[in-house]
Amino acid sequence: MGLFSKIKEGLKKTRDSVVGQIDSMLKSFTKIDDDLFEELEELLVMGDVGINTAQRICEELKARVKRDGVKDPNQIMGMLRNVVREMLEGDTSLHLATKPSIILVIGVNGVGKTTTIGKISARLTREGKKVVIAAADTFRAAAIDQLAVWADRSGADLVKQGEGSDPAAVVFDAISAAKSRNADVIICDTAGRLHNKKNLMDELSKIGRIIDRELPEAEKEILLVLDAATGQNAVNQAREFKNSCGITGIVLTKLDGTARGGVVIAIKEDLNVPVKFIGVGEQIDDLQPFDPEDFANALFEPEQV
C-alpha cells in the first residue's frame, strides 16, 4: 500500500461519516444560499472542526463563491477541499540539523506516546541516523519496558534508570551517551500526569534546563502527542501544553479508529501549531509525516464505486 493509500484508508471513518454527510447535504440543495452554509457549518462542528474554525471555513467559502460567481452547490466540495488544504499549509518538517538534535515527546498517559517514540525512532534509523532514546517517564515501569522493546526493534540505544528516578537525570545521561556515541538524535520520553499539572510542568521545565545547559546549540523539537479520538478535548490539551511549556509540533495518533479527523484542522487553525505526524494504523510504518495536500485530498476524495 502506497503512502497516499495508507492516509486515505486511515481517514476512511472521517470521510465516510463527516464528508459523506456534507456530500449528501450539498446534493440536497439546488442553489447556494445562507441555509446551505448554515448546514455546512453545523456539519463541520459535528465533525470536530470546532466552532471558530467552521465559521472561518464558511466565511472563506462565501467570499470565494461571490468572487468566482459560483452557482452550483456541487462545486462547494472541491472548494472546501482547497480551503482546508490552504489552512493546513505550513512547515510540517522536523528540524534536526544539529548533531545531536533533541526531540522531547510530551502528552498525557494513554495517547500513544511510547509507540510514537518507537515509530519515530524506526523512521530516523531507516534514514541512517543514530538514535538514543531517554526513558525519562520514570513513574511507570511499563513505559520503560515498552521503550526497551521499541529501542530493540528500531535499532536505537536506550538510556534508562530505575523506576522513580529523577527524569532530568535520565535525560542528562542520555545526552552524555549521545555525545560519546556520536549520535544524531536524542528522543526523550516524559511522564504524562496532567492531573498533577504543576508537578508535570515543573518537571518538563527542569528537563528543558538540562537540555539548554548541556546542548545549548542543539535544535529542539517539542512534540505533543494527542489521541484523535478525543476530538475537541485534544484541542484543549494542546492549548494547555502550548501555554505551559511551548510545543513545536503535534503528533495525532489513532486517526484510523475515529471519525474525528477534523480535529487536525482545528488544532492548526486555532493554535497555529503544525501537525508533524499522523497515526493511521498499528504497524511500525503507519506513523506518517503530515502532508497538508495529501490529507485534504484523502479526506475529500470520493470513494470509487
Binding residues for GTP: 107-114, 189-193, 253-256
Length in residues, the chain: 305
Reported as type and span, the H/E element at residue 83 is helix 76-88
The rounded distance, in Å, linking the Cα atoms of 44 and 46 is 5
Looking at the chain, the number of H-run helices and the number of E-run strands are 13, 8
Cα torsion angle, 60, 288, 94, 166, sign: positive
Residue 50 CA to residue 38 CA, distance in Å, equals 14
3-class secondary-structure state, position 177: helix
Single-letter code of the amino acid located at 277: F
| Backbone CA torsion sign across 238, 240, 241, 242 | positive
Binding residues: 107-114, 189-193, 253-256
SS (H, E, C) 197-251: HHHHHHHHHHHHHHHHHHCCCCCEEEEEEEEHHHCHHHHHHHHHHHHHHCCCEEE
CA distances from 155 to 99, 119, 121, 158 (A): 18, 11, 8, 9
Q: Which helix (H) or strand (E) holds 54?
A: helix 51-68
- The sheet that has 287-289: what strands, in order across it? 157-159, 131-134, 185-188, 101-106, 220-227, 249-253, 275-279, 287-289
Burial of residue 161, with CB atoms counted within 10 A of its CB: 0-12 exposed, 13-18 middle, 19 or more buried: middle
